[in-house]
Structure 1
Amino acid sequence: MSSRARAVDPGLLARWCTEHLGSPPADELFRSGFLSAVIGLRLTDGREVVVKVRPDSPRMAACVEVQRRMFQAGYPCPRPLTGAAPLGVDVATAEVYVPGGAVLPSAERAAVAFAEAFAWLIRLAPRPGEVSALDPAPSWADWNHGGGGLWPCPEGSDVNLDEVSGAEWIDAAGRRARDLLRAGGSDAVIGHCDWLAGNLRWSGDALLVVHDWDSVIAESESVLVGFAAALHSTVSADELATVEDTQRFLDAYGRARGRELSADELRLSWAAGVWTRAYDAKYQHAVGQPITSLSEDEARERLRRAGAGSRGAGTGSQRP
């Protein structure tokens, strides 16, 4: 969310690599990230690694453990090389660098490919009780946060989304989706809550690698599937799933897991997709960016599929 890349002191980074990887950096391959600094390095011993630096959080150890277990289970993710270890005031982890791959599978099969990859992840992930706590969820997935308002506080920003006026239809859609989510519920599983095209790479239609394991959370399967179905892309990494793309994802996910989503699961999945995209839309509005994550018409249609009916859902004319 932040527009400022996280600064990392080169001397601290070199000492961290020497201590935790046994070799200092020789070359920097790339640098990206905003809330986190993601730095590709070639070490002096020839290994290519990625070091991720971000604010410390109790959940980081569990995120690394989930990634380690997924790699050991054969899921295509980078092999962790360290746990979460202090780097200055922050915490860092390292993993094997996995280069290459396309941002999207073939357009005609994209929704199915994303859904099958997600079902594979859910099937192989450890149970929540097998790792330490993954709370709190990242803000875009924290629909049931403990704060008093509708929206959680965005990471890396001091903006209070509940105090931002205008575009009232976004608040209405988010509130309606949250109410629907609170009315449902099931046992939690572990899954990835940021199933954006930028976090996956493909070799044709085969999954090459999934990145950003800081985004694993414990949540109901229906909600996790709803996030993924709403956030994946089919024709461009800059365009989120259409309503039709989301429907194709949900259908394909049911086939991939061997059991169609029930009516109750579908309602929760559609509601979860509305909530996460409304959250992003609210943030975009709050910081003066174009609202690209959700439109009012799309919110209305997604809420209709979530079972919200025609009681003014997704509009600013009537509060849910």
Structure 2
Amino acid sequence: MSAVIGLRLADGRDVVVKVRPDAPRVAVCIEVQRRLFQAGYPCPEPLTGAAPFGGDIATAEVYVPGGAVLPSADRAASVFAEAFAWLIRLAPSPAEMPALGPAPSWAAWNHAGGGLWPRSEDSDVDLDKVSGAEWIDDAGRRARDRLRIGGSGAVLGHCDWLAGNLRWSEDALLVVHDWDSVTADSEDVLVGFAAALYSTVDADKPATVEDTRRFLVAYGRARGRDLSADELQRAWAAGVWTRAYDAKFQHAAGLPVTSLSENEAGERLRRVGICSTEIGGGRVSDPG
């Protein structure tokens, strides 16, 4: 999706240059990153806006080295959630920024296309035409249908809260990377993505059902107000949708489906308020 190059400038500064296809949303993402840095959030300082680079665009930011991929396991849910609540609190309002669409594919549950799945940025495969593993489509559809009900006004947040995009100094947040993943959505949806994607003991394995539950509790504590019953259901639904999208992409590519299992989809959908007999013919029992 992009080329990322580390450079040492003549004045000794270490910087990171990122080159990717031109898209209007990139300039907005960089401005959000700039405002968060100025507000004291631990993200790399942008050094440029989005500059033309051949047929693509490039941006540059300060290189922030070091840090651990994961905090301590017993504190992971709390510190990941606190870091996310801090980001949501400091981010500018969407009304202050130009339009920030379309969302990255793994967050585009409400995309403008006619099918269930949006097109991936790095593939021409139409996921809606890929057969097999129908339970993935079923989970994604049910999650999307729940997300279409309710929801609050949009906020700005980070929709790719993977362990690989954060670094820690013990349990203190050192830096958050990948600011092309800024998007606008309701708070419960963004929190649901984060709660489903972060890791606790292995950066290559996303949150378990229990990990997600702990994150959602910790997020409510960090923002000073527990998530309501409606917010919790929508957060669980958002997590199902993004994990199902990744699972569908893996299935289409002929890869092992590791982002979501049928059992775990059922357990997560039960938290949305959908009973197990409605999922995949009622074959779901234990959480993944």
What range describes the TM-score normalised by the shorter chain of this pair? over 0.9
Contact 1:172–1:316 at 8 Å: present in 2 too?
no
Q: Which residue of 2 aligns with 1:240?
A: 206
Partner of residue 149 from structure 1, selected from 102, 109, 115: 115
Amino acid at match of 2:8: R
Give the root-mean-square deviation of aligned CA atoms: 1.0
Partner-residue secondary structure (3-state), 1:115? helix
Under a length normalisation based on structure 2, what TM-score does the superposition of the two structures give? 0.97
In 2, Cα distance between the equivalents of 1:266 and 1:85? 40
Contact 2:16–2:62 at 8 Å: present in 1 too?
yes
Partner-residue secondary structure (3-state), 2:81? helix
Partner of residue 210 from structure 1, selected from 164, 172, 176: 176
In 2, Cα distance between the equivalents of 1:184 and 1:304? 18
Is residue 94 from structure 1 mapped to residue 60 from structure 2 by the alignment? yes
**Higher Cα radius of gyration:** 1
In 1, Cα distance between the equivalents of 2:282 and 2:27? 45
Partner-residue secondary structure (3-state), 2:278? coil
TM-superposition CA deviations, 1:2-32 (whole Å, max 9, x none): xxxxxxxxxxxxxxxxxxxxxxxxxxxxxxx
TM-superposition CA deviations, 1:216-270 (whole Å, max 9, x none): 0010000000000000000010010000000000000000000000000000000
TM-superposition CA deviations, 1:64-114 (whole Å, max 9, x none): 000000000000000000000010111000000000000000011111110
Q: Which residue of 2 aligns with 1:70?
A: 36
Displacement after TM superposition at 1:309 (Å): 2.3
Give aligned pairs, total.
283
In 1, Cα distance between the equivalents of 2:267 and 2:56? 42
Q: Which residue of 1 aligns with 2:244?
A: 278
Amino acid at match of 2:52: P
TM-superposition CA deviations, 1:161-199 (whole Å, max 9, x none): 000000000000000000000012210000000000000
Q: Which residue of 2 aligns with 1:176?
A: 142
Q: Which residue of 2 aligns with 1:126?
A: 92
Contact 1:67–1:77 at 8 Å: present in 2 too?
yes
In 1, Cα distance between the equivalents of 2:86 and 2:36? 10
Partner-residue secondary structure (3-state), 1:276? helix
Q: 1:310 to 1:38 in 2, by over 3 A?
A: same
TM-superposition CA deviations, 1:21-71 (whole Å, max 9, x none): xxxxxxxxxxxxxx1111111112211000010011010111000000000
Which ranges in structure 2 are unaligned for 5 or more consecutive residues?
A: 284-288
In 1, Cα distance between the equivalents of 2:72 and 2:164? 15
Displacement after TM superposition at 1:272 (Å): 0.1
Partner of residue 57 from structure 1, selected from 18, 23, 39: 23
Contact 2:15–2:60 at 8 Å: present in 1 too?
yes
Contact 1:270–1:302 at 8 Å: present in 2 too?
yes
Under a length normalisation based on structure 1, what TM-score does the superposition of the two structures give? 0.87
Partner of residue 107 from structure 1, selected from 69, 73, 85: 73
Partner-residue secondary structure (3-state), 1:59? helix
Partner of residue 217 from structure 2, selected from 248, 251, 259: 251
Is residue 186 from structure 1 mapped to residue 152 from structure 2 by the alignment? yes
